Amino acid sequence: MIRATIVLLIAHLIIPRLRRQSAAERHAIRAASLATAAVLPLLVLLMPSWQPEWARRVADVLPAAFDAIQPAAGGYGDFIVRATGVESSGWTVSGAIVLLWMLGSSVALLVLGREALKLRRLIASAQLVTDTRPLAIAAGVARSLGLTRPPRLLSSTRVAIPITWGTQRAHILLPDAARDWSDERVWAVLAHEMGHVRRGDWTTHLLAEIVCAIYWFHPLFWLGRSCLGRDSEQAADDIVLGLGANGADYASHLLAIVRAAGRRPTRLTPTVAMARRSDLERRVAALLSGFVNRSRVTRGHLIAIAVVAIVIALPLAAMPARAPSITIELRTTNLAPLVEAANVPERADGTRAPLHVRVLGEPLAAGQGTPPEIEAYTTPPLYSDDARRQGIEGVVTAQAHVDASGHLGGVRVVQGLGFGLDQNALVALRQWRFRPGTRGGAPVAMDVAIEIEFTLRSESINALIANDMATLVGPGVTPPKAVKVVQLKAGAAGVRGTVALDVVLLEDGTPRIVRILRSLTPEADESAVRAFALWRFSPAVKNGRPVKVRMSAEVNFHG
């Protein structure tokens, strides 16, 4: 319903400001907005998923949604956490909401059906107008409006104001007091009611009532329907003036009819009524104004409005509003060590070779300043399983902005290697600390290029650093449990497969993602890393004390 709310809210904000458009044009736009909002939930089910790049960027900066979850019970074996909800075979909140929606819609539709039965009984008790005077006036108005069949005229003592319903054979029900009206008032009333018939307002009104019954819980649908009725009445008034009526005289007829009706019910729901107290002041002001656009809506206008509605509805329906379904499986048992110490090459002096990282700053002349430097090299970039198997080596070049405080931002890969290495480079780079560049002795912000070299010769060294003396979950270690889950962002919508992460869980339950073990796509890798980095766990416990543990996390995308 988020999409429908957006459409209705925009329509409610924009349409009242279209003062240069006629009431008929505003009515058509309002009807299109209601129709678009009503069919969007159905279109969401029918349209294939589509998401442009700008929408992904918007989704990335929106706050993450949190779901309450309960990990599967068990000892220190494998456990599964689902980020999209809690599996349950019993009663669920979502099921209760759907049931309440259906119950409310059923009640609203039953009320509308009851009103239709009341109208049927009213028609049965009404009398056919046989007086030649109103019949002749009706025939003349019908010819002026181009109606092939004049509406059927009825009268009843049970109505206080004129009402209209029907399409192929429309009916106009007049109050019994209409027999004492002057010819001018009869003409004005019939011109107004036949204006509704000419415009097809009864069909639009009935569909709006059905839509409101279905979406009974949504106030913007009811507000849209109310505004729709107000615009249709003013559009019918404009038709009367277009046929030659004087605005002041026509306004006096409206006031007299409303006064005669008093506090009696003004209409039945399945009908279009001529006058309601709530809109009378606005209508009279419009009738007396000489600056109101009173043009009718043309076929070209209707086609243009329909095209715009389709252009808005289809992309909006195809754009996913929530994260794709994922399953994150945490494997915490029998995890092999990252590297054996014997496989780590050493220099001649016994020290381990550092990873080759070069920071390229803005050109600085000698003595004018210094580029940013790495202050704390906390996590090395590591190989993914695919890249190691295929023997990929080379340099990943990333661009970033280092501010005057040494904080890194705007990190992106400008030249990569693929196979998960690009994302692993970003995972490591975001955890480093930098010393800001200087100019004239003062720290300044600089844009830098960072070249991160991947070579199989130093992979074992980096793996040993990443291992970081983490405890493997096993006998004597109480496994962690997920206590805070962040849903996946929509950047990887439509992707199916698994991203495997290598994670070190710190003593406070914060996960530190070390590398991507198995890559899927750059977008899926990024979504998995960003979402899982915000998870929180209860710490693993060994001998009564929180310990750091290593885990592998599998993020399964279901499209």
Segment 392-409, tens digit of pLDDT: 888 888 888 888 888 888
Determine the average pLDDT of the residues in 144-166: 89
Q: Identify the band that residue 348 occupies on the pLDDT scale cut at 50, 70 and 90.
A: very low
- Please give the residue that has the higher pLDDT: either 331 or 234: 234
The whole-number pLDDT of residue 344 equals 34
Q: Identify the band that residue 205 occupies on the pLDDT scale cut at 50, 70 and 90.
A: very high
- Please give the residue that has the higher pLDDT: either 437 or 103: 103
Q: Is the pLDDT of residue 554 over 80?
A: no
User: How far is Cα 524 from Cα 558, in angstroms, rounded to an integer?
Assistant: 11
Q: Is the pLDDT of residue 165 over 60?
A: yes
Q: Is the pLDDT of residue 174 over 60?
A: yes
The whole-number pLDDT of residue 487 equals 63
Beta bridge partners of 328: 81, 555
The whole-number pLDDT of residue 81 equals 34
Beta bridge partners of 286: none
- Please give the residue that has the higher pLDDT: either 355 or 268: 268
The whole-number pLDDT of residue 97 equals 82
Radius of gyration of the chain (CA): 36
Percent of the chain with pLDDT over 70: 73
Q: Is the pLDDT of residue 104 over 80?
A: yes
The whole-number pLDDT of residue 426 equals 87
The whole-number pLDDT of residue 394 equals 86
| The two structure tokens encoding residue 32 | 């299109």
The whole-number pLDDT of residue 269 equals 67
Q: Is the pLDDT of residue 511 over 80?
A: yes
The whole-number pLDDT of residue 13 equals 92
Q: Is the pLDDT of residue 146 over 50?
A: yes
Angle (CA) 301 307 308, round 5°: 90
Q: Identify the band that residue 63 occupies on the pLDDT scale cut at 50, 70 and 90.
A: very low
Q: Identify the band that residue 320 occupies on the pLDDT scale cut at 50, 70 and 90.
A: low
**Backbone φ, ψ for residue 481 (5° rounding):** -130, 140
User: How far is Cα 398 from Cα 375, in angstroms, rounded to an integer?
Assistant: 18
Residue 295: how many other CB atoms lie within 10 Å: 14
Q: Identify the band that residue 298 occupies on the pLDDT scale cut at 50, 70 and 90.
A: confident
| The two structure tokens encoding residue 146 | 């181009």
Q: Is the pLDDT of residue 343 over 80?
A: no
Q: Identify the band that residue 352 occupies on the pLDDT scale cut at 50, 70 and 90.
A: very low
The whole-number pLDDT of residue 64 equals 39
The whole-number pLDDT of residue 438 equals 84
The whole-number pLDDT of residue 108 equals 92
Q: Identify the band that residue 220 occupies on the pLDDT scale cut at 50, 70 and 90.
A: very high
Determine the average pLDDT of the residues in 458-482: 59
The whole-number pLDDT of residue 76 equals 26
Q: What share of the chain is helix, strand, coil (3-state, %, to 5)?
A: 45, 20, 35
Q: Identify the band that residue 83 occupies on the pLDDT scale cut at 50, 70 and 90.
A: very low
| The two structure tokens encoding residue 233 | 């009445």
User: How far is Cα 87 from Cα 66, in angstroms, rounded to an integer?
Assistant: 16
Segment 263-291, tens digit of pLDDT: 655 556 677 766 566 677 888 888 888 88
Angle (CA) 148 149 150, round 5°: 120
Q: Is the pLDDT of residue 89 over 60?
A: no
Enter the pTM of the model: 0.56
Determine the average pLDDT of the residues in 65-70: 34
What does pLDDT average to over the chain?
A: 76
Q: Identify the band that residue 96 occupies on the pLDDT scale cut at 50, 70 and 90.
A: confident
- Asked if 81 contacts 485 with a C-beta cutoff of 8 angstroms, the reply is yes
Torsion, CA 252, CA 257, CA 258, CA 263, rounded to 10: 160
The whole-number pLDDT of residue 428 equals 81
The whole-number pLDDT of residue 326 equals 44
User: How far is Cα 84 from Cα 72, in angstroms, rounded to an integer?
Assistant: 15
- Please give the residue that has the higher pLDDT: either 253 or 458: 253
One-letter amino acid at 73 equals A
Number of H helices, E strands in the chain: 15, 26
Mapping DSSP to helix (H, G, I), strand (E, B) and coil, where does residue 285 land? helix
The whole-number pLDDT of residue 364 equals 58
The whole-number pLDDT of residue 195 equals 92
The whole-number pLDDT of residue 316 equals 80
Percent of the chain with pLDDT over 90: 26
